[in-house]
Amino acid sequence: MKFKSPPVNSLSLEFLTEFSIGLEKLENNRACRGVIITSAVPKIFSSGLDITEMCGKSVEHYGEFWRAVQEMWLRLYGSNMVTVAAVNGSSPAGGCLIALSCDYRIMAENPKFSIGLNEAQLGIVAPFWFKDTFVNVVGHRIAERSLQLGSLHPAPEAQRLGLVDELVPEEKLMEKAAAVMAQWLALPDHARQLTKTMMRKAVLDRLVAHREEDIKNFITFVSKESIQKSLRMYMEMLKKRKS
Ligand SMILES: CCCCCCCC/C=C\C=C\CC(=O)SCCNC(=O)CCNC(=O)[C@H](O)C(C)(C)COP(=O)(O)OP(=O)(O)OC[C@H]1O[C@@H](n2cnc3c(N)ncnc32)[C@H](O)[C@@H]1OP(=O)(O)O
Protein backbone atom coordinates (compact mmCIF):
# COMPACT_ATOMS: atom_id res chain seq x y z
CA MET A 1 0.00 0.00 0.00
CA LYS A 2 1.36 3.38 -0.97
CA PHE A 3 0.12 6.50 0.78
CA LYS A 4 -0.49 9.22 -1.78
CA SER A 5 -2.18 12.22 -0.21
CA PRO A 6 0.07 15.25 -0.84
CA PRO A 7 1.47 17.41 0.56
CA VAL A 8 2.16 15.36 3.74
CA ASN A 9 -0.12 12.27 3.89
CA SER A 10 -1.94 13.70 6.89
CA LEU A 11 -4.47 11.26 8.32
CA SER A 12 -7.79 12.94 7.57
CA LEU A 13 -11.14 11.24 8.14
CA GLU A 14 -11.26 10.41 4.43
CA PHE A 15 -7.70 9.04 4.39
CA LEU A 16 -8.30 6.91 7.50
CA THR A 17 -11.55 5.52 6.11
CA GLU A 18 -9.95 4.60 2.80
CA PHE A 19 -6.96 3.04 4.55
CA SER A 20 -9.18 0.91 6.82
CA ILE A 21 -11.31 -0.26 3.88
CA GLY A 22 -8.14 -1.11 1.94
CA LEU A 23 -6.81 -3.14 4.85
CA GLU A 24 -10.14 -4.93 5.26
CA LYS A 25 -10.19 -5.90 1.58
CA LEU A 26 -6.64 -7.28 1.75
CA GLU A 27 -7.42 -9.11 5.01
CA ASN A 28 -10.41 -10.81 3.36
CA ASN A 29 -8.43 -11.76 0.27
CA ARG A 30 -7.07 -15.24 0.93
CA ALA A 31 -4.42 -14.73 -1.74
CA CYS A 32 -2.91 -11.84 0.22
CA ARG A 33 -0.67 -12.86 3.13
CA GLY A 34 1.29 -9.68 3.67
CA VAL A 35 1.36 -5.96 3.08
CA ILE A 36 4.20 -3.47 2.76
CA ILE A 37 3.19 0.07 3.69
CA THR A 38 5.12 2.98 2.23
CA SER A 39 4.60 6.48 0.83
CA ALA A 40 4.45 7.93 -2.66
CA VAL A 41 5.03 11.45 -1.27
CA PRO A 42 8.73 12.38 -1.32
CA LYS A 43 10.38 12.74 2.11
CA ILE A 44 7.17 12.13 4.09
CA PHE A 45 5.80 8.79 5.29
CA SER A 46 2.86 10.45 7.10
CA SER A 47 2.60 13.70 9.08
CA GLY A 48 0.19 12.03 11.53
CA LEU A 49 -3.40 12.91 12.31
CA ASP A 50 -4.76 15.77 10.27
CA ILE A 51 -4.79 18.59 12.81
CA THR A 52 -7.51 20.46 10.91
CA GLU A 53 -9.87 17.55 11.76
CA MET A 54 -9.34 18.37 15.45
CA CYS A 55 -9.74 22.16 15.22
CA GLY A 56 -12.97 24.16 15.29
CA LYS A 57 -15.23 21.22 14.38
CA SER A 58 -18.41 19.86 15.99
CA VAL A 59 -18.52 17.30 18.79
CA GLU A 60 -20.12 14.85 16.29
CA HIS A 61 -17.20 15.34 13.92
CA TYR A 62 -14.62 14.74 16.66
CA GLY A 63 -16.42 11.50 17.58
CA GLU A 64 -16.54 10.27 13.99
CA PHE A 65 -12.91 11.19 13.43
CA TRP A 66 -11.67 9.44 16.58
CA ARG A 67 -13.66 6.28 15.77
CA ALA A 68 -11.92 6.22 12.39
CA VAL A 69 -8.49 6.56 14.08
CA GLN A 70 -9.35 3.67 16.42
CA GLU A 71 -10.67 1.56 13.53
CA MET A 72 -7.49 2.02 11.53
CA TRP A 73 -5.32 0.97 14.48
CA LEU A 74 -7.52 -2.03 15.42
CA ARG A 75 -7.31 -3.29 11.83
CA LEU A 76 -3.59 -2.73 11.40
CA TYR A 77 -2.33 -3.79 14.83
CA GLY A 78 -4.72 -6.76 14.82
CA SER A 79 -4.02 -7.80 11.24
CA ASN A 80 -3.40 -11.47 10.50
CA MET A 81 -1.22 -10.46 7.56
CA VAL A 82 2.51 -9.84 7.81
CA THR A 83 2.85 -6.05 7.91
CA VAL A 84 6.09 -4.28 7.03
CA ALA A 85 6.52 -0.50 7.20
CA ALA A 86 8.98 0.86 4.62
CA VAL A 87 9.40 4.30 6.18
CA ASN A 88 10.69 6.51 3.39
CA GLY A 89 10.30 9.87 5.11
CA SER A 90 9.37 11.67 8.30
CA SER A 91 6.77 10.04 10.44
CA PRO A 92 5.55 12.00 13.45
CA ALA A 93 2.73 11.01 15.86
CA GLY A 94 -0.05 9.14 14.01
CA GLY A 95 2.44 8.36 11.23
CA CYS A 96 4.72 6.76 13.82
CA LEU A 97 1.73 4.83 15.21
CA ILE A 98 1.19 3.26 11.78
CA ALA A 99 4.83 2.17 11.60
CA LEU A 100 4.75 0.90 15.23
CA SER A 101 1.64 -1.15 14.45
CA CYS A 102 3.45 -3.16 11.77
CA ASP A 103 5.44 -6.33 12.42
CA TYR A 104 8.69 -4.86 11.14
CA ARG A 105 10.01 -1.37 10.39
CA ILE A 106 12.66 -0.48 7.86
CA MET A 107 13.58 3.19 7.50
CA ALA A 108 15.55 5.09 4.88
CA GLU A 109 18.91 6.02 6.45
CA ASN A 110 18.48 9.76 6.03
CA PRO A 111 19.22 11.68 9.28
CA LYS A 112 16.80 14.40 8.13
CA PHE A 113 13.91 11.92 8.45
CA SER A 114 12.54 11.63 11.96
CA ILE A 115 9.99 9.47 13.72
CA GLY A 116 8.34 9.50 17.13
CA LEU A 117 5.24 10.25 19.18
CA ASN A 118 5.60 14.03 19.53
CA GLU A 119 2.10 14.72 20.91
CA ALA A 120 3.48 16.43 24.04
CA GLN A 121 5.10 19.07 21.81
CA LEU A 122 1.63 19.98 20.54
CA GLY A 123 0.30 20.27 24.09
CA ILE A 124 -1.73 17.08 23.69
CA VAL A 125 -1.43 13.63 25.24
CA ALA A 126 -0.88 10.39 23.34
CA PRO A 127 -3.82 8.08 24.14
CA PHE A 128 -3.17 4.91 26.16
CA TRP A 129 -3.23 2.63 23.11
CA PHE A 130 -0.62 4.74 21.26
CA LYS A 131 1.49 4.42 24.43
CA ASP A 132 0.86 0.66 24.76
CA THR A 133 1.90 0.10 21.13
CA PHE A 134 5.06 2.15 21.69
CA VAL A 135 5.95 0.32 24.92
CA ASN A 136 5.51 -3.05 23.17
CA VAL A 137 8.14 -2.02 20.61
CA VAL A 138 10.79 -0.11 22.61
CA GLY A 139 10.11 -0.99 26.26
CA HIS A 140 8.82 1.13 29.14
CA ARG A 141 11.82 3.35 29.93
CA ILE A 142 12.54 4.48 26.38
CA ALA A 143 8.82 5.00 25.71
CA GLU A 144 8.35 7.02 28.90
CA ARG A 145 11.24 9.39 28.19
CA SER A 146 10.37 9.76 24.54
CA LEU A 147 6.66 10.38 25.23
CA GLN A 148 7.24 12.90 28.02
CA LEU A 149 9.65 14.87 25.85
CA GLY A 150 7.54 14.44 22.70
CA SER A 151 10.74 13.41 20.94
CA LEU A 152 11.10 13.08 17.22
CA HIS A 153 14.09 10.82 16.68
CA PRO A 154 16.31 11.17 13.62
CA ALA A 155 16.54 7.85 11.76
CA PRO A 156 19.92 6.70 13.23
CA GLU A 157 18.71 7.38 16.79
CA ALA A 158 15.39 5.67 16.08
CA GLN A 159 17.31 2.55 15.12
CA ARG A 160 19.50 2.70 18.23
CA LEU A 161 16.36 2.90 20.40
CA GLY A 162 14.73 -0.03 18.60
CA LEU A 163 11.95 2.19 17.28
CA VAL A 164 12.87 1.01 13.79
CA ASP A 165 14.42 -2.38 13.13
CA GLU A 166 16.89 -1.38 10.46
CA LEU A 167 18.08 1.44 8.24
CA VAL A 168 18.89 1.02 4.57
CA PRO A 169 19.80 3.44 1.77
CA GLU A 170 16.58 4.89 0.38
CA GLU A 171 17.03 3.25 -3.04
CA LYS A 172 17.25 -0.17 -1.38
CA LEU A 173 14.19 0.27 0.85
CA MET A 174 11.62 -1.63 -1.19
CA GLU A 175 14.06 -4.41 -2.09
CA LYS A 176 14.83 -4.88 1.61
CA ALA A 177 11.12 -4.74 2.54
CA ALA A 178 10.40 -7.49 -0.02
CA ALA A 179 13.23 -9.63 1.39
CA VAL A 180 11.92 -9.21 4.96
CA MET A 181 8.40 -10.05 3.76
CA ALA A 182 9.68 -13.24 2.08
CA GLN A 183 11.45 -14.25 5.31
CA TRP A 184 8.30 -13.78 7.42
CA LEU A 185 6.06 -15.48 4.83
CA ALA A 186 8.30 -18.56 4.83
CA LEU A 187 6.70 -19.56 8.15
CA PRO A 188 3.36 -21.36 8.33
CA ASP A 189 0.63 -18.70 8.61
CA HIS A 190 -1.29 -20.34 11.46
CA ALA A 191 1.72 -20.51 13.81
CA ARG A 192 2.82 -16.94 13.03
CA GLN A 193 -0.73 -15.58 13.34
CA LEU A 194 -1.44 -17.28 16.67
CA THR A 195 1.87 -16.01 18.02
CA LYS A 196 1.09 -12.47 16.87
CA THR A 197 -2.35 -12.63 18.48
CA MET A 198 -0.81 -13.92 21.73
CA MET A 199 1.62 -10.98 21.79
CA ARG A 200 -0.90 -8.24 20.89
CA LYS A 201 -4.26 -9.40 22.25
CA ALA A 202 -4.13 -7.72 25.67
CA VAL A 203 -3.42 -4.32 24.16
CA LEU A 204 -6.10 -4.69 21.46
CA ASP A 205 -8.67 -5.95 23.98
CA ARG A 206 -8.03 -2.94 26.21
CA LEU A 207 -9.15 -0.51 23.53
CA VAL A 208 -12.07 -2.71 22.43
CA ALA A 209 -13.30 -2.80 26.05
CA HIS A 210 -12.95 0.99 26.47
CA ARG A 211 -13.71 2.19 22.96
CA GLU A 212 -16.72 4.40 23.72
CA GLU A 213 -15.08 5.82 26.85
CA ASP A 214 -11.96 6.60 24.79
CA ILE A 215 -14.08 8.49 22.24
CA LYS A 216 -15.78 10.47 25.02
CA ASN A 217 -12.38 11.29 26.55
CA PHE A 218 -11.06 12.45 23.19
CA ILE A 219 -14.09 14.68 22.60
CA THR A 220 -13.85 16.23 26.08
CA PHE A 221 -10.10 16.73 25.73
CA VAL A 222 -10.05 18.17 22.24
CA SER A 223 -13.07 20.44 22.86
CA LYS A 224 -11.26 22.29 25.68
CA GLU A 225 -10.45 25.86 24.69
CA SER A 226 -6.87 25.44 25.99
CA ILE A 227 -6.32 22.42 23.68
CA GLN A 228 -7.92 24.19 20.72
CA LYS A 229 -5.57 27.11 21.36
CA SER A 230 -2.50 24.81 21.46
CA LEU A 231 -3.51 23.15 18.20
CA ARG A 232 -4.15 26.49 16.48
CA MET A 233 -0.79 27.82 17.64
CA TYR A 234 0.94 24.67 16.40
CA MET A 235 -0.67 25.01 12.94
CA GLU A 236 0.37 28.68 12.83
CA MET A 237 3.93 27.68 13.79
CA LEU A 238 3.99 25.16 10.91
CA LYS A 239 2.85 27.83 8.46
CA LYS A 240 5.31 30.44 9.79
CA ARG A 241 8.20 27.98 9.63
CA LYS A 242 7.37 27.56 5.96
CA SER A 243 7.47 31.29 5.17
C1 LIG B 1 -6.39 12.87 29.38
C2 LIG B 1 -6.20 11.91 28.26
C3 LIG B 1 -7.12 12.19 27.10
C4 LIG B 1 -6.64 11.49 25.88
C5 LIG B 1 -7.14 12.19 24.67
C6 LIG B 1 -6.33 11.84 23.47
C7 LIG B 1 -5.95 13.07 22.69
C8 LIG B 1 -5.05 12.70 21.56
C9 LIG B 1 -5.20 13.66 20.50
C10 LIG B 1 -4.56 13.68 19.37
C11 LIG B 1 -3.48 12.84 18.94
C12 LIG B 1 -2.83 13.24 17.83
C13 LIG B 1 -1.74 12.53 17.18
C14 LIG B 1 -1.24 13.23 15.93
O15 LIG B 1 -0.93 12.57 14.98
S16 LIG B 1 -1.20 14.94 15.90
C17 LIG B 1 -0.28 15.37 14.43
C18 LIG B 1 1.16 15.51 14.74
N19 LIG B 1 1.89 15.82 13.55
C20 LIG B 1 2.90 16.68 13.54
O21 LIG B 1 3.29 17.24 14.54
C22 LIG B 1 3.55 16.92 12.20
C23 LIG B 1 3.44 18.34 11.80
N24 LIG B 1 4.05 18.54 10.49
C25 LIG B 1 5.37 18.65 10.29
O26 LIG B 1 6.18 18.58 11.18
C27 LIG B 1 5.82 18.91 8.90
O28 LIG B 1 4.69 19.34 8.17
C29 LIG B 1 6.42 17.68 8.19
C30 LIG B 1 5.52 16.47 8.27
C31 LIG B 1 7.80 17.36 8.80
C32 LIG B 1 6.63 18.04 6.69
O33 LIG B 1 7.38 19.22 6.57
P34 LIG B 1 7.42 20.00 5.17
O35 LIG B 1 7.69 19.06 4.08
O36 LIG B 1 8.32 21.17 5.37
O37 LIG B 1 5.90 20.46 4.95
P38 LIG B 1 5.12 21.69 5.65
O39 LIG B 1 5.44 21.75 7.10
O40 LIG B 1 5.35 22.91 4.85
O41 LIG B 1 3.62 21.19 5.51
C42 LIG B 1 2.91 21.25 4.26
C43 LIG B 1 1.46 21.61 4.55
O44 LIG B 1 0.87 20.56 5.30
C45 LIG B 1 0.32 21.08 6.53
N46 LIG B 1 0.46 20.04 7.57
C47 LIG B 1 1.56 19.44 7.99
N48 LIG B 1 1.29 18.50 8.92
C49 LIG B 1 -0.05 18.51 9.09
C50 LIG B 1 -0.95 17.78 9.93
N51 LIG B 1 -0.53 16.81 10.77
N52 LIG B 1 -2.26 18.06 9.85
C53 LIG B 1 -2.72 19.02 9.01
N54 LIG B 1 -1.91 19.76 8.20
C55 LIG B 1 -0.59 19.50 8.24
C56 LIG B 1 1.18 22.31 6.81
O57 LIG B 1 0.53 23.18 7.69
C58 LIG B 1 1.34 22.86 5.42
O59 LIG B 1 0.11 23.50 5.07
P60 LIG B 1 0.10 24.81 4.13
O61 LIG B 1 0.73 24.36 2.84
O62 LIG B 1 -1.33 25.16 4.01
O63 LIG B 1 0.92 25.85 4.85
> Domain residue spans in the chain?
2-172+181-242
52 lines ligand 1 (CB under 6 A): yes
Considering only CA atoms, which residue is closest to atom 23 of ligand 1? 47
Predicted TM-score (pTM) of this structure: 0.98
Residues 6+ apart with CB under 8 A from 207: 70, 73, 74, 128, 129, 214
In this predicted model, what pLDDT tens digit does every residue of 206-219 receive, in sequence order? 999 999 999 999 99
**Among 238, 239, 240, 242, residue to substitute to test ligand 1 (most atoms within 8 Å of Cβ):** 238
In this predicted model, what pLDDT tens digit does every residue of 13-39 receive, in sequence order? 999 999 999 999 999 999 999 999 999
CATH 3.90.226.10 fits 2-172+181-242, yes or no: yes
Mean pLDDT of the 143-151 span: 98
53 lines ligand 1 (CB under 6 A): no
| Neighbour count for residue 184 (Cβ, 10 Å) | 16
152 lines ligand 1 (CB under 6 A): no
Ligand 1 center from residue 230 Cα (angstroms): 13
- To 5 degrees, how large is the angle CA 66–CA 5–CA 121? 55
Distance between CA atoms of residues 202 and 118, nearest Å: 25
- Return the beta strands (E) in 93-224 as ranges: 104-108, 114-116, 153-154, 166-168
Q: What is the interface pTM, i.e. ipTM, of the complex? A: 0.97
Return the amino acid letter for 197: T
Ligand 1 center from residue 48 Cα (angstroms): 6
Ligand 1 center from residue 32 Cα (angstroms): 32
227 lines ligand 1 (CB under 6 A): no
Structure confidence at residue 154 as a pLDDT band (50, 70, 90): very high
Distance between CA atoms of residues 170 and 222, nearest Å: 37
34 lines ligand 1 (CB under 6 A): no
**Mean pLDDT of the chain, nearest integer:** 97
Structure confidence at residue 241 as a pLDDT band (50, 70, 90): confident
